[in-house]
Amino acid sequence: MAVYAVGDVQGCDQALARLLDTLAFSPSRDTLYLLGDLVNRGPHSLAVLRRLMALEGAAQCLLGNHDLHLLASAHGVRKPHRSDTLDEILHAPDRLRLLDWLRRRPLAWFEHGWLMVHAGVLPQWDAAQTVALAQELQEALCSADWIDFLRQMYGNQPDRWNERLCGSERLRVIVNALTRLRFCSAQGVMEFGSKDRADAAPSGFMPWFDVPGRKTAGVPLAFGHWSTLGAIDRGDVLPLDSACVWGGRLTAARLGHSVEQTELISVSCAPT
């Protein structure tokens, strides 16, 4: 049995098919953990969702910011962007089934000794708290008033964690950390203006995984979201967004007990 974590697919279904072939992936034997941003910007988001749904328990999928954007757009909460490629899903005959499946995906896992998220983890959270807070979000998305949650989800404030936060402000901090975070301050204040490389952090900020005293330090942690990250030399974090939708590659990691024991496998995202 092999366990793989896969970076941002973003609608690149042909690349996903090539990756599965390269892995000789067997749904009866192996498990994929997809780290969010399943859809958008790429050409075949509908095919990606249908492929992953068909794999059932062999493909475990996190929600990323683009997946949440699809849910919000589908229910009139968010206007589509000019660069969106979601119309095929929004007009599909099985649209309701696809969207219902998507909204029930989690936002973090701690499985096989690995913490997995789409974007980042605030320095005040350990692995157990990260998963518990992600569960709060999942419960909101699975509730009867989940569309009301979507209406209150967007915004950059509050920009830091506080245990006393409640309601929509609490959920907004959690969703921003798990699906949008790249840089934060030593105190965990989140910065959302920059998408640059790790070595080009805005003044006063640093990559979230470099914050001194981060409570998840030492826990193997896989994430996506940051296609411009560049090379990093950290023994406990594994970035897997290799810019597939921007002409890069789609990457899977065969997970071992540590980052050093992990095997990376990638395929070109050029169409065939």
pLDDT tens by residue, 53-98: 999 999 999 999 999 999 999 999 998 899 999 999 999 999 999 9
Residue 158: cis peptide before it, omega within 30 degrees of 0? yes
Is pLDDT of 198 > 60? Answer: yes
How much is the pLDDT for 245?
Answer: 95
How is residue 258 annotated by DSSP? S
How much is the pLDDT for 249?
Answer: 96
Is pLDDT of 234 > 90? Answer: no
The mean pLDDT value for 182-209 works out to: 96
Phi, psi of 231 (to 5 degrees): -70, 140
The mean pLDDT value for 171-194 works out to: 97
How much is the pLDDT for 272?
Answer: 55
Question: Within a 10 A sphere around the Cβ of 90, how many other Cβ atoms?
Answer: 16
Q: Which of 228, 215, 148 is nearest to 177 (CA)?
A: 215
Q: Locate tokens 């959690």: which residue?
A: 174
CA distance linking residue 172 with residue 166, whole number of Å: 10
> What residues are paired with 241 via a beta bridge?
none
Is pLDDT of 231 > 80? Answer: no
- At residue 232 the predicted structure's pLDDT band, cuts being 50, 70 and 90, is confident
**Please, what are the domains in the chain?**
3-268 (3.60.21.10)
How much is the pLDDT for 116?
Answer: 98
Give the predicted TM-score (pTM) of the model.
0.96
The sign of the dihedral angle between the CA atoms of 64, 70, 75, 80 is positive
The sign of the dihedral angle between the CA atoms of 134, 135, 137, 138 is positive
Q: Exposed, middle or buried by CB within 10 Å (0-12, 13-18, 19+), for 261? A: exposed
Is pLDDT of 47 > 80? Answer: yes
How much is the pLDDT for 101?
Answer: 97
CA 197 to chain centre: 18
Of the listed ranges 29-38, 154-163, 256-265, the least confidently predicted one is 256-265
- At residue 180 the predicted structure's pLDDT band, cuts being 50, 70 and 90, is very high
Query: Are 33 and 65 contacting, i.e. CB atoms less than 8 angstroms apart?
Result: no
Query: Are 37 and 6 contacting, i.e. CB atoms less than 8 angstroms apart?
Result: no
Q: Average pLDDT over the chain, rounded to whole?
A: 96
Question: Within a 10 A sphere around the Cβ of 45, how many other Cβ atoms?
Answer: 29
CA distance linking residue 109 with residue 127, whole number of Å: 9
CA distance linking residue 35 with residue 151, whole number of Å: 24
Sequence-ordered list of residues with C-beta below 8 angstroms from that of 82, at least 6 positions apart, any chain: none
Three-state DSSP at 205 gives: coil
Query: Are 186 and 212 contacting, i.e. CB atoms less than 8 angstroms apart?
Result: yes
CA distance linking residue 243 with residue 228, whole number of Å: 8
- At residue 233 the predicted structure's pLDDT band, cuts being 50, 70 and 90, is confident
